[in-house]
């Protein structure tokens, strides 16, 4: 044992009261200092998830692939949407990829706080690390799921342009900021009001259908024409959903047929770059707010869990 003769560590305040508006910088520094723990927690999340299952990692692919098959068959073939949208399966998968990540991030934040209750009551470490670790684990799944696209490109014998793929970056940023901001705030409130978890589950179901994943933006515009004079307003309202913009960004990046002029005309709204920029700014604020709410309410997790 070594430490006693070295310089005395200072007497410091245990559990400094968390404030809503201040302390962001200190929290970020704290996370950076605990980056090894963040890695360990993310590793635990990944290792424990598929432990004891024979197919292990393959399960990360099963959910999106099954959804792809169901929607590809039901919507693409039976409802005939596949005739209107070229490379329909790739189109759906690009959207599913983003949506799966978004819902995993949001639900991951919620479940990690509840399932790690004992850890939170027992040890004092930055509370933000748990949801961040679950987000990191979700990112690993995302990369795994994205690799399926390579197979898809081989099948349709088409690849997106190298520059087009870059659209993923702003779309991912918007997805992450909104997902993390909402996930953190909801996770913290869920500790005190357990209905929030169920509500979030339902809201995500609704969210899936008001996001152009298994239909295209062009079909939304056409559908909105039924509203007559309010058509333009209805489309605008629809596009207030950040995930609608994110999904379109994903399709723009990862769906090779999207680069053809014809497809571009009916699949994407104008000024996609500007839209994603605005949502990036709003998302940054949402992420910050979610983090503050989480930190503020997190000070008492030890007693509420």
Partner 1 sequence: MSHVDVRFEAVTKTFRLGGVRNVKEHVLGVSGHRAKPVRIEAVHELSLEITSGEAVALLGHNGSGKSTTLKMLAGTVAPTSGRIWARGRIAPLLELGSGFHPDLTGRENIFLNAAILGIRRRETAARLDDIVAFAEVDTFLDTPVKFFSSGMSARLGFAIAVNVDPDILIVDEVLAVGDENFQEKCLDRMQSFKRDGRTVILVTHSYDQAAAFCERALVLDHGRLTFDGPAAEAEPAYHASSRATASSSPAQRS
Inter-residue contact 250 to 256 (CB < 8 Å): no
What is the rounded CA–CA span in Å between residue 197 and residue 292?
19
Q: Yes or no: say if 253 and 171 are a contact pair by the CB < 8 Å rule.
A: yes
Residue whose token pair is 């292990």: 56
User: How far out from the chain centre does Cα 6 lie?
Assistant: 46
Stretch of residues binding partner 1 (CB under 8 A), selected from 59-67, 118-126, 169-177, 286-294: 118-126
Q: Using CB under 8 A, pick the residue from 140, 239, 278, 299 that binds partner 1.
A: 299
With CB under 8 A as the contact rule, the residue among 27, 41, 90, 275 that binds partner 1 is 41
Cα separation of the two ends of the chain: 36
Minimal distance, residue 156 CB to partner 1, in Å = 40
Residues in contact with partner 1, shown as a per-residue x/- string from 47 to 66 under the rule CB under 8 A: xx--xx--------------
From the CB of 37, what's the least distance to partner 1, in Å?
4
Q: Is 36 in the site for partner 1 (CB under 8 A)?
A: yes
Residue 289 within binding range of partner 1, rule CB under 8 A: no
Given the complex with partner 1, which of 123 and 229 has the nearer CB atom? Answer: 123
Are 94 and 254 in contact by the 8 Å Cβ rule? The answer is yes
- Closer to partner 1 at the Cβ: 51 or 262? 51
Among 75, 90, 109, 120, contact with partner 1 (rule: CB under 8 A): 120
Q: Which of 65, 114, 119, 148 binds partner 1 (CB under 8 A)?
A: 119
Q: Tokens 């039924």 label which residue?
A: 226
Cα gap 200→206, rounded to integer Å: 10
Contact 91, 257 (CB under 8 A): yes
Q: Is 13 in the site for partner 1 (CB under 8 A)?
A: yes
Tell me which of 24, 29, 44, 155 binds partner 1, using CB under 8 A: 44
Q: Does 22 bind partner 1 (CB under 8 A)?
A: no
Decide: is 123 part of the binding site for partner 1 (CB under 8 A): yes
Q: Is 8 helix (H, G, I), strand (E, B) or coil?
A: coil
8 A C-beta contact, residue 82 and residue 76: yes
Distance (Å, whole) CA 234 – CA 239: 9
User: CA–CA separation, 88 vs 289, rounded Å?
Assistant: 38
Closest CA to 244 of 224, 262, 229: 224
Distance CA 31, CA 41 (A): 13
Q: Out of 194, 225, 236, 264, which residue is the one contacting partner 1 (CB under 8 A)?
A: 194
Taking the complex as a whole, the smallest distance from the CB of residue 169 to partner 1 amounts, in Å, to 31
Q: Identify which range of 85-93, 98-106, 120-128, 146-154 contacts partner 1 by CB under 8 A.
A: 120-128
Residue choice 124, 163, 226, 262 for contact with partner 1 (CB under 8 A): 124
- Sequence length of the chain is 305
CB-wise, 116 or 247, nearer to partner 1? 116
Closest CA to 282 of 247, 241, 224: 241
What does the binding site for partner 1 look like in residue numbers (CB under 8 A)?
1-4, 8-15, 17, 34, 36-37, 40-41, 44, 47-48, 51-52, 118-125, 193-195, 299-303
């Amino acid at each position: 044992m070594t430490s006693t003769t070295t310089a005395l560590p200072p007497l410091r305040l245990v559990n400094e009261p968390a404030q809503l508006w201040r302390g962001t910088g200190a929290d970020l520094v704290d996370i950076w200092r605990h980056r090894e723990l963040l890695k360990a927690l993310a590793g635990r999340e990944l290792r424990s998830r598929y432990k004891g299952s024979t197919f292990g990692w393959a399960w990360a692919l099963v959910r999106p692939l099954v959804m792809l098959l169901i929607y590809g068959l039901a919507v693409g073939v039976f409802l005939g949407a596949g005739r209107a949208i070229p490379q329909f399966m790739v189109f759906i998968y690009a959207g599913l990829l983003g949506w799966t990540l978004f819902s995993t991030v949001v639900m991951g934040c919620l479940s990690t706080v509840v399932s790690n209750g004992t850890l939170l009551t027992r040890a004092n470490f930055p509370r933000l690390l748990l949801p961040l670790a679950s987000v990191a684990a979700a990112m690993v799944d995302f990369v795994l799921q994205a690799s399926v696209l390579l197979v898809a490109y081989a099948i349709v014998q088409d690849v997106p342009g190298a520059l087009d793929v870059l659209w993923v970056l702003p779309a991912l940023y918007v997805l992450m900021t909104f997902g993390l901001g909402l996930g953190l705030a909801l996770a913290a409130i869920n500790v005190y009001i357990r209905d929030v978890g169920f509500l979030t589950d339902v809201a995500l179901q609704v969210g899936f259908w008001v996001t152009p994943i298994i239909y295209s933006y062009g079909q939304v515009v056409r559908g909105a024409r039924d509203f007559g004079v309010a058509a333009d307003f209805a489309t605008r309202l629809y596009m207030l959903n950040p995930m609608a913009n994110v999904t379109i960004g994903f399709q723009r990046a990862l769906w090779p047929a999207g680069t053809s002029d014809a497809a571009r005309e009916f699949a994407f709204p104008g000024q996609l770059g500007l839209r994603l920029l605005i949502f990036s700014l709003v998302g940054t604020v949402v992420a910050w707010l979610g983090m503050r709410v989480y930190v503020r309410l997190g000070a008492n997790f030890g007693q509420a869990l």
